[in-house]
Amino acid sequence: MKILKENGGLLTNFEVLDFLRSRGAAKDPTRVLAPLAPSEFKVYDFLEQSAACSQTRESIAEFVTKCKPYKLTKSEIVSIVNVRPSSAVEIDPLIEDLDSRLGESAEELVELVLQVFPPPPDQSKSDE
Amino acid sequence: MWRELEDMEEKWQNPSQKRVLARVNMFNLSKLEHTLRLQPHLLSLPINEAVKGELESLFLDKVIANLGLCISVYDIESIDGGFIFPNEGAPTYTVKFRLIIFRPFVGEIISAKLKESNADGLRFANARAFPCCPRLRNHIRFRVQNVKFPEIPKEQKESKPFAPMEIIGSLVSDGGLGPISWWV
């Protein structure tokens, strides 16, 4: 076995979820008929209860274009899309040198995230 | 234990290591090439399906050294060969394909469910595969400190099941890490 290209491309959680859905993970309640392994179902379950379950390709594309003025690196953007921080405190560990690079506009970035991505059902439950 | 983590944290902040952040991500597509033999009873299936099935049984849910945990076969790029070597009944194919690999990078933030905590640190349900049945409900966010691929041990240890890929995380930071309920 040979590894041709170790890093072929970044995948957001949403893209992996979409891939599993296209293989039929969502439609099969018995989990026997879909051509997926049990471990793939576990991944699917995990992703469903993460922030990725309510995202769409369009919302991610929209977020990427809108956050251009903030000059984030690609992996920071992917981290934000995956984690979906809902406050400035949550965004702090995701971005390096947050204060010196963004300063005031960190709040705006959080607003942008909240605006583009709807809150996952998990988070609204934990607020109660 | 926390002091150790803080020392490691400082090492991470060394500017030469910041390049690591740009490289890989939690889920990654990796292209591999593998030579595999197709058992004769599979030859009645369309070749794509047979090869895919074989790849899945070989790689799915297995940790590839220094690469990560293979989640899924993404696609097959090319299938070459089909030669039958002497003394064999099975044709041999050289396949190029892509796998979805789970491999967090150093510095990435991951959400995980806390599974176990003891003197050695916190062992998350996420360390080897995705959470199946977390005993505690705490939803925690931590930063990946280090990803280790320990050698396969010669004898299986009885107390702790062997984890081919260990992710060591750190909660030391200015804010935003630790149980999510602290911040939200």
Tens digit of pLDDT for each residue in B99-150?
887 765 554 445 454 333 332 333 333 433 333 223 233 344 444 444 444 4
Q: Which residues of chain A make contact with B17, given a CB cutoff of 8 A?
A: none
pLDDT digits (tens, 9 = 90+) for B5-63: 444 333 333 333 333 333 335 666 666 667 777 777 777 788 888 888 888 888 887 77
Q: How far apart are CA A20 and CA A41, in angstroms?
A: 8
Q: How far apart are CA B54 and CA A45, in angstroms?
A: 25
Cα–chain center distance at A84: 7
Q: What is the DSSP track for B15-37? A: GGGGGGGGT--SEEEEEEEEEEE
Put simply, the chain A residues between 3 and 42 with a CB less than 8 A from any chain B CB are 3-13, 15-16, 19-20, 23, 37, 39-40, 42
DSSP code of B39? P
Q: Which domain, by its residues, includes A103?
A: 57-127
Q: How far apart are CA A59 and CA B79, in angstroms?
A: 36
Q: Taking CB atoms and an 8 Å limit, are B21 and A75 in contact across chains?
A: yes
Q: Taking CB atoms and an 8 Å limit, are B60 and A46 in contact across chains?
A: no
CA-to-CA dists, residue B72 to B42, B93, B97, B161, angstroms: 21, 20, 11, 24
Superfamily of structural domain B2-102: RNA polymerase Rpb7-like, N-terminal domain (3.30.1490.120)
Residue A25 above 60 pLDDT? Answer: yes
Question: What confidence category does residue A4 fall into, taking pLDDT thresholds of 50, 70 and 90?
Answer: confident
Q: Can you give the pLDDT at residue A113?
A: 81
Q: For the purposes of burial, counting CB atoms within 10 Å of the CB of A75, is it exposed (0-12), middle (13-18) or buried (19 or more)? A: buried
Does A78 share its domain with A118? yes
pLDDT digits (tens, 9 = 90+) for B62-88: 777 667 777 788 888 888 887 888 888
Q: Give the number of beta-carbon pairs within 8 Å between A and B.
A: 129
What total of structural domains would you count in chain A? Answer: 2
Q: Is B162 helix (H, G, I), strand (E, B) or coil?
A: coil
Cα–chain center distance at B128: 7
Cα–chain center distance at B127: 9
Q: How far apart are CA A63 and CA A116, in angstroms?
A: 6
Q: Can you give the pLDDT at residue A64?
A: 85
Does A32 share its domain with A80? no
Does A62 share its domain with A49? no
Q: Taking CB atoms and an 8 Å limit, are B98 and A8 in contact across chains?
A: yes
| Domain residue spans of chain B | 2-102, 109-182
Residue A75 above 70 pLDDT? Answer: yes
Q: Can you give the pLDDT at residue B96?
A: 84
Q: For the purposes of burial, counting CB atoms within 10 Å of the CB of A62, is it exposed (0-12), middle (13-18) or buried (19 or more)? A: middle
Does A35 share its domain with A67? no
Question: What confidence category does residue A117 fall into, taking pLDDT thresholds of 50, 70 and 90?
Answer: confident
ipTM of this predicted complex? 0.74
Provide the H-helix boundaries in B20-178: 47-59
Q: Taking CB atoms and an 8 Å limit, are A93 and B176 in contact across chains?
A: yes
Q: Taking CB atoms and an 8 Å limit, are B21 and A73 in contact across chains?
A: yes
Q: Between B93 and A26, whose confidence is greater?
A: B93
Does A119 share its domain with A86? yes
Q: How far apart are CA A86 and CA A111, in angstroms?
A: 8
Question: What confidence category does residue B163 fall into, taking pLDDT thresholds of 50, 70 and 90?
Answer: low
Q: Can you give the pLDDT at residue B183?
A: 52
Residue A1 within a domain: no
Average pLDDT, chain B: 57
pLDDT digits (tens, 9 = 90+) for A28-55: 777 777 777 777 777 777 777 766 677 8
Q: Please compute the mean of the pLDDT values over residues B140-169 and round it to a whole number.
A: 46
Q: Can you give the pLDDT at residue B120?
A: 30
Pick the closest to residue A117 from A37, A40, A13 (CA basis): A13
